[in-house]
Chain A
């Protein structure tokens, strides 16, 4: 199994600023994903983080707003750029091979 550490666990940010969320896996994994969970809703996939190449974004999500890095097989970052109150959500990192594991999430509030 894999243990995924995500930080920060929560943050309160001002409109127009950016926040970078870090995701560290305790072992090398093939696949890493970033999800968003808006209040009271289920998880929506933002993008697949590809090691050594650009992330693959889902419909409705763009690189300028959610730049993602994945420099190696154990680490990824998601940046939420130029934030607005609509970006207030829980952001979750997932990683694994056959089984996928999740971090504890980052609860973001934008004022």
Chain B
């Protein structure tokens, strides 16, 4: 069974700082990996998808890297803004059944 760990569990930074969110997973046989954002009481918004053959993916201020062999992914958020405050979830999708597994998330607070 895929186990996903996200570190840190929570992060509080002043506006403008860069954020680094770490994710590790136990089964490297993945199809792809998605990063999601969840606002309190809401559903999930997909931020980035990295294919298993890719090393990184970028969208605006967001950059995600993937080291499949070591079971790690990192989400970088540049020049953070108060609107970035949310919980960020890492979800690798296993190759044999295409299911997403979720970590507990990193809750980010960006202070104005």
Chain A contact residues, CB within 8 Å of chain B = 6, 31, 33, 41-45, 48, 90, 92, 94, 98-105, 107
Residues of A near B45 (CB, < 8 A) are: 102
Closest B residue to A104 by CB, please name it. Answer: B43
Cβ of B5 to closest chain A Cβ, rounded Å: 11
Residues of B near A107 (CB, < 8 A) are: 41
What are 12 residue pairs bridging A and B, where the CB atoms are less than 8 Å apart in the complex?
A31-B98, A42-B102, A94-B100, A99-B32, A99-B46, A100-B34, A102-B36, A102-B43, A102-B44, A105-B41, A105-B43, A107-B41
Q: Tell me if A101 and B46 are in contact (CB < 8 A).
A: yes
Closest B residue to A106 by CB, please name it. Answer: B43
User: How far is B87's CA from A43's CA once the two chains are assembled, in angstroms?
Assistant: 12
Q: Tell me if A41 and B104 are in contact (CB < 8 A).
A: yes
Q: Tell me if B43 and A33 are in contact (CB < 8 A).
A: no
Please give 12 more A-B residue pairs, beta carbons under 8 A apart, in addition to A42-B104, A44-B102, A102-B36. Answer: A6-B43, A33-B100, A42-B103, A42-B105, A43-B44, A43-B89, A43-B102, A94-B100, A98-B32, A102-B45, A102-B46, A104-B42
Chain B contact residues, CB within 8 Å of chain A = 32, 34, 36, 41-46, 49, 89, 93, 97-105
Residues of A near B98 (CB, < 8 A) are: 31
Closest A residue to B48 by CB, please name it. Answer: A99
Cβ of A3 to closest chain B Cβ, rounded Å: 11
User: How far is B101's CA from A44's CA once the two chains are assembled, in angstroms?
Assistant: 8
| Interface of chain A, main secondary structure | strand
Most chain A Cβ neighbours within 10 Å, of B43, B49, B93, B105: B43
- 10 A-B pairs with the lowest CB-CB distances in the bound complex, closest first: A102-B44, A104-B43, A43-B102, A105-B43, A102-B43, A42-B102, A42-B104, A99-B49, A103-B43, A42-B105
User: How far is B97's CA from A104's CA once the two chains are assembled, in angstroms?
Assistant: 24
User: How far is B42's CA from A66's CA once the two chains are assembled, in angstroms?
Assistant: 22
User: How far is B47's CA from A9's CA once the two chains are assembled, in angstroms?
Assistant: 23
User: How far is B33's CA from A44's CA once the two chains are assembled, in angstroms?
Assistant: 17
Cβ of A41 to closest chain B Cβ, rounded Å: 7
Residues of B near A98 (CB, < 8 A) are: 32, 49
